[in-house]
Structure 1
Amino acid sequence: MARISLEPPRTLTNRLVSWYSKRKFGRDLGPTLAAGHNRRVLMTMGKVEMGSAKWNALDPQLKIMVTMKAAMTIGCEWCVDFSYWLGREAGLDADKIHAVPGWRNSTLFTPLERLALEYAEAMSTTPVTVTDELVAGLGEHLDDAQLVELTATIALENLYGRNNLALGLAPEGLKEECALPARD
């Protein structure tokens, strides 16, 4: 259960954000409702989200996979739920989406994807366990701009996930709505 009311004041800003959220996602989203209690936080988080959506050095599907893995590593169920939805919206193969939790035992991932998933885990543990060898391995596949974008993508997920965990935000059923086939 959320540790903060998900009924922010009915300001013009919150009504506009609600309209946009319902248009894009079919509903208001918990993190946005929680942030709606502080206009400056809401606006800053929105700017960060819109700005990061314009990053284009990396494959968008790779970014979704590392976002999902980071969310799983820190334990943000809301973020995992949302990542499944994002993956399906981006056309990410359902088998890959289902394989992210156990990526080490899957043959579905490319060498770059495997390194990126390992990097997401290493960045999302406390303390961070990123090694020089891991970054060097990524450097064999990515240029510096891509490595910076990968790192920032994972760091943002840690910000969002830890925020959602602290506020007690629960999954909203987006995974169920994205028509992923059930797995045995």
Structure 2
Amino acid sequence: MDARLDYLATTTGTRSLKHFMAAGRALKESPLPAATQELVALRVSQINGCAVCVDMHTKEAAAAGETSARLHLVAAWREATVFTEAERAALELAEQGTRVADAAGGVGDECWARAAKHYEEEQLTALVILVSVMNAANRLNLIVQQPAGDYQVGQFH
């Protein structure tokens, strides 16, 4: 299976990817916990059906020490006991921020309040930007039908 378009072979694609990479570096340097970042990136990608990003973030999280139990349960986080209240709040915000078309007004006030209870402003900023960047990356990969499965840990760092 080949992608419809090799956007990295174009000047516009390589220039644009540099900005995605810069955003990713800024997020990694943020005070939002790395484990939370990977769980959120994985959940957003699961919702959007982006196999490339599911592959990437599952492998990156595992390499960083995330347990297989937690990775397998991200899709069913509401019923799982392996996530902290803070992680649950982040996953809820990620879901509502990804499914904005499902609810008028996007993220609800109660969801926001739960996230704000666990994360200070700098972390909330990182969380919101992470959800936004992941949704953009997912859409890019889905539009060009980027094949998945070959990601190597650290490939885009």
Interval of TM-score (by shorter of Structure 1 and Structure 2): 0.7 to 0.9
Q: Relative to structure 2, which stretch is displaced further, 128-137 or 161-170?
A: 128-137
Q: Relative to structure 2, which stretch is displaced further, 96-105 or 120-129?
A: 120-129
Aligned to 2:38: 64
Aligned to 1:102: 76
Aligned to 1:149: 126
Aligned to 2:108: 131
Residue of structure 1 aligned with 2:17, choices 45, 48, 51:
45
Q: Bigger radius of gyration, 1 or 2?
A: 1
Stretches of structure 2 lacking an aligned partner (at least 5 in a row): none
Q: Relative to structure 2, which stretch is displaced further, 75-84 or 122-131?
A: 122-131
Mapped to 2, the partners of 1:66 and 1:39 lie a distance apart of 30
Mapped to 1, the partners of 2:100 and 2:41 lie a distance apart of 17
* Structure 1 residue 115 corresponds to structure 2 residue 92: no
Mapped to 1, the partners of 2:38 and 2:68 lie a distance apart of 13
TM-score normalised per structure 2: 0.85
Task: Report the Cα offset of residue 114 of structure 1.
Answer: 0.7
Stretches of structure 1 lacking an aligned partner (at least 5 in a row): 6-33, 179-184
CA RMSD of aligned residues (A): 1.9
How many residues get paired? 148
Q: Deviations over 1:49-92 (max 9, x none)?
A: 13432332200110000000000111111111111111112221
Aligned to 2:143: 166
Mapped to 2, the partners of 1:170 and 1:57 lie a distance apart of 32
- Runs of at least 4 residues off by over 6 Å: none
Mapped to 2, the partners of 1:81 and 1:95 lie a distance apart of 16
Q: Does the C-alpha gap of structure 1 residues 162 and 51 become closer, same or farther in structure 2, counting only changes over 3 Å?
A: closer
Task: Report the Cα offset of residue 40 of structure 1.
Answer: 2.8
Q: Give the match's secondary structure for 2:77.
A: helix
Q: Give the match's secondary structure for 2:118.
A: coil
Give identity over the alignment, percent. 24
Contact 1:74 1:125 in 2 (8 A): no
Contact 1:79 1:161 in 2 (8 A): yes
